[in-house]
Amino acid sequence: MSKVYKAVISVADRFVPGALRPMWDHPAGPKTIFFWAPACKWSLVIAGLGDLNRPVENLSMTQSASLAATGLVWSRYSLVIIPKNYSLFAVNVFVALTSSYQILRAYRYHKELEAKKGKE
């Protein structure tokens, strides 16, 4: 796989315009895993946004909590590594935010259920 990837990059190298060259050659640019890992991780954010329409009783608090925690941990990590990876930071902030919102929704739902049971 590495040989195939290097061959694709060497071909693509010829077509990158001069204006995009600094981003292309950056230590966290498209030639490295530091670019592709955060790019793929946006699928978690998209899934989290899709879950906003999910009925609140079907949300998993443990899953949302683990996603929020990993989002926070990796956000911090992305700013202390060299090179700093701002795309990794951004995606992890969004993972933490969408998951935290789901936790808030589930928490409010459970509090509402408890209040209804207390009135009965």
Domain residue limits, the chain: 1-27, 32-119
The CA–CA distances, whole Å, from 70 to 42, 50, 59, 92, 108 equal 14, 19, 18, 8, 23
Q: What is the pLDDT of residue 23?
A: 82
Residue 105 C-alpha from the chain's centroid:
20
pLDDT of residue 101: 95
pLDDT value of position 7 = 87
User: Which DSSP symbol is given to 29?
Assistant: S
Q: Which pair of tokens denotes residue 66?
A: 């683990």
* pTM as predicted: 0.78
Per DSSP, the residues of 67-113 read: HHHHHHHHHHHHHHSSS--HHHHHHHHHHHHHHHHHHHHHHHHHHHH
Cβ atoms 40, 46 nearer than 8 A: no
**Residues of the chain below pLDDT 50:** none
pLDDT confidence of residue 92: 96
pLDDT at 24: 84
How much is the pLDDT for 93? 97
Give the model's pLDDT for residue 37.
Answer: 85
In this structure, which CATH number among 3.40.50, 1.20.1070, 1.20.1280, 1.20.120 belongs to the domain 32-119? 1.20.1280
What pLDDT is attached to residue 1?
Answer: 55
